[in-house]
């Protein structure tokens, strides 16, 4: 169908650091952006010691209720820590390059290397906290229902199963490529894009610009597919609702 699934959907990420304090449990994530490799350091008022004796990865993804932050092994085989950030999360900006979170019995301090990264991160958190990104979907849909829906379609395996349904996928492709006049040089909005397969078909049909909107964490993988297939100049993935 002209779309290649890369063997790895993740790239190497920049370096950061996380520190943790016992008792009050205080973590510091240094130099992180929306994606970063990090070191976890346990710290108390007197000393800092590694929480893990190796670097790990930090990834921040869109979540239906805000932002989901994951800490993973470098090979991404294991998720070591995950916590959501929503409008009820206790957090605040610290200085020009840090952000402090209170998560359960732990306190996380996110410390950036660059002011620009800290500013962008702070803006994203501010939007989540203020509810400025709240959509009609969020207002009208119960949290539990939305979470179940996006979790189901957010599984990469589920998207792969859907793509492997030849009759379904081929029918979509044929419908689009048989109506080139509806797509040639047009701007297309693909809502609930999933893996972005319909966006790729629209691009093959000659669409000038395609906006692929995906609310689940599949948006992360859809972007990888767009980049791997050299469609970045045509398809723009928009995480959100």
Average pLDDT of 221-233?
Answer: 91
3-state secondary structure of 35: strand
Note the pTM of the prediction, 2 decimals.
Answer: 0.45
DSSP class of 181: G
Name the one residue in this structure whose structure tokens are 């100049």: 233
Q: Which domains does the chain have, with CATH numbers?
A: 32-140 (2.30.29.30), 153-239 (3.40.50.150)
Question: Is the Cβ–Cβ distance between 190 and 212 less than 8 Å?
Answer: yes
Q: Which tens digit of pLDDT belongs to each residue from 21-51?
A: 444 444 444 433 355 545 444 445 555 556 6
Residue 217: CB atoms within 10 Å? 22
- Give residue-wise pLDDT tens across range 53-109: 777 776 777 776 788 878 778 788 888 878 888 888 888 888 887 777 777 777 777
Matching residue, tokens 């928009």: 238
Alpha helices, DSSP H, located in the chain: 115-130, 136-140, 143-154, 156-163, 166-177, 197-204, 218-228
* 123 pLDDT higher than 50: yes
Average pLDDT in the 10-20 region? 38
DSSP type of residue 119: H
163-201, pLDDT tens digit by residue? 888 898 899 999 999 999 999 999 999 988 888 999 999
- Identify the CA nearest to 205 among candidates 161, 236, 167, 235: 235
Q: Is pLDDT at 122 greater than 60 in this prediction?
A: yes
Which structure tokens are listed for 87?
A: 């409008």
pLDDT score recorded for residue 52: 65
d(CA 15, CA 17): 7
Contact 80, 56 (CB under 8 A): yes
- At 69 the three-state DSSP class reads strand
> Which residues fall within 8 angstroms of residue 140, CB to CB, at 6 or more apart?
none
The confidence score (pLDDT) of residue 6 equals: 40
Contacts of 209 (CB under 8 A, 6+ apart): 187, 188, 234, 236
């Amino acid at each position: 169908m002209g779309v290649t699934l890369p063997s790895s959907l993740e790239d190497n990420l920049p370096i950061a650091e996380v520190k943790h304090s016992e008792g009050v449990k205080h973590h510091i994530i240094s130099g992180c952006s929306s994606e970063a490799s990090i070191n976890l350091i346990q710290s108390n008022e007197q000393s800092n010691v590694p929480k893990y004796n190796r670097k790990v990865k930090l990834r921040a993804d869109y979540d239906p209720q805000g932002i989901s932050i994951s800490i993973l092994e470098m090979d991404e085989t294991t998720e070591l820590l995950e916590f959501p950030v929503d409008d009820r999360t206790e957090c605040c900006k610290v200085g020009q390059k840090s952000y402090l979170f209170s998560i359960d019995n732990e306190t996380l301090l996110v410390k950036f290397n660059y002011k620009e990264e800290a500013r962008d991160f702070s803006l994203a958190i501010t939007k989540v906290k203020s509810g400025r990104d709240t959509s009609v979907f969020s207002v009208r849909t119960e949290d539990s229902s939305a979470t179940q829906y996006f979790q189901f379609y957010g599984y990469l395996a589920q998207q792969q199963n859907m793509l492997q349904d030849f009759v379904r996928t081929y029918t979509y492709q044929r419908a689009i490529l048989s109506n080139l006049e509806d797509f040639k040089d047009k701007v297309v909005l693909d809502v609930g894009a999933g893996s972005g397969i319909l966006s790729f078909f629209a691009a093959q049909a000659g669409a000038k610009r395609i906006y692929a909107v995906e609310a689940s964490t599949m948006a992360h993988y859809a972007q990888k597919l767009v980049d791997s297939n050299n469609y970045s100049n045509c398809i723009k993935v928009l995480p959100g609702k």
